[in-house]
Amino acid sequence: MDQKLKNKTAIVTGASGGQGAAEARLFAQAGARVILADVQDALGEAEAESIRDTGGDAHYRHLDVSSQENWQTVVNGIKAEFGELHILVNNAGVALRGGRVTNTSMEDWNRVLSINLTGPFLGIQTVAPLIRDSGGGAIVNTGSIAGMTGHFATAYSASKWGIRGITKSAAMELQEWGIRVNTIAPGLVMTPFLEGSDDFIEALGDQTPMQRGAEPEEIATVALFLVCEDSSYITGHDIAVDGGFLDFGGFNRVINQVMEKPDQKV
């Protein structure tokens, strides 16, 4: 594989499995030193060891992204041990698909917002000075199609709409530090995040023009593009990786229904 991230150091949050682990593996294959950060220590350590077993440079760090103190400890450790940092992927997140606006508790609201929105804010705030001092780099925030269209899970949707605002503000403010900031907005991705959500998977898959969910590696390749020099002139942008869900909209369903009829009246 091309060493597009040779001599780069990256931190990926929520990297103990699923999309974050796929991103960490791909970055390591591309030559980066990768710090996997998560609260699931056993899984994170195992993932880092797996990457090292295949020749990659990977290290695990415990990180609760909602804790400013945790962020500072991890970043101070990276600076002390490696001296530099070039890439941040804010991937850690939680879902709350059952929480509607009328029945979402304050406890659930605060939990989702603290991880999905405050976490990336703290990550950017803490990491950006070290990326600047390392010569610049890139930040990728993980959004969702739930932050680009109407969605039924209020807290989750609010957090993902908020990510887009953080991305655009940070991109403007950090460009003078040589830091690009972008958002990936995945659609249906087949990760442990969806365990026990069979009905949701079936319904969203049916509404997705490509008629399937993405594999985590398909999201990871977009993250790699956004953190390497291939995307050197892209910043402040939201990229939907959703099998056509947003861009085709309801018309995909309409045309399929029409085509099923022998006597089409269009």
Residue 42 lies in a domain: yes
Residue 2 lies in a domain: no
Asked whether 52 and 24 are in contact (CB, 8 A), the reply is no
Residue 4 lies in a domain: no
User: Predicted confidence band at 265 (pLDDT cuts at 50, 70, 90)?
Assistant: low
**Residue from 156, 188, 191, 213 carrying the catalytic annotation:** 156
pLDDT of residue 155: 94
Residue 20 lies in a domain: yes
Tens digits of residue pLDDT in 16-65: 999 999 999 999 999 999 999 999 999 999 999 999 999 999 999 999 99
Nearest to 86 by CA among 125, 133, 38: 133
pLDDT of residue 264: 63
Residue 239 lies in a domain: yes
Tens digits of residue pLDDT in 138-186: 999 999 999 999 888 899 999 999 999 999 999 999 999 999 999 999 9
Residue 56 lies in a domain: yes
How many domains, the chain? 1
The range of the structural domain enclosing residue 226 comes to 9-259
Q: Is 156 an annotated catalytic residue?
A: yes
- At 221, which CATH number? 3.40.50.720
Residue 264 lies in a domain: no
Residue 265 lies in a domain: no
Phi then psi for 105, rounded to 5 degrees?
-75, 160
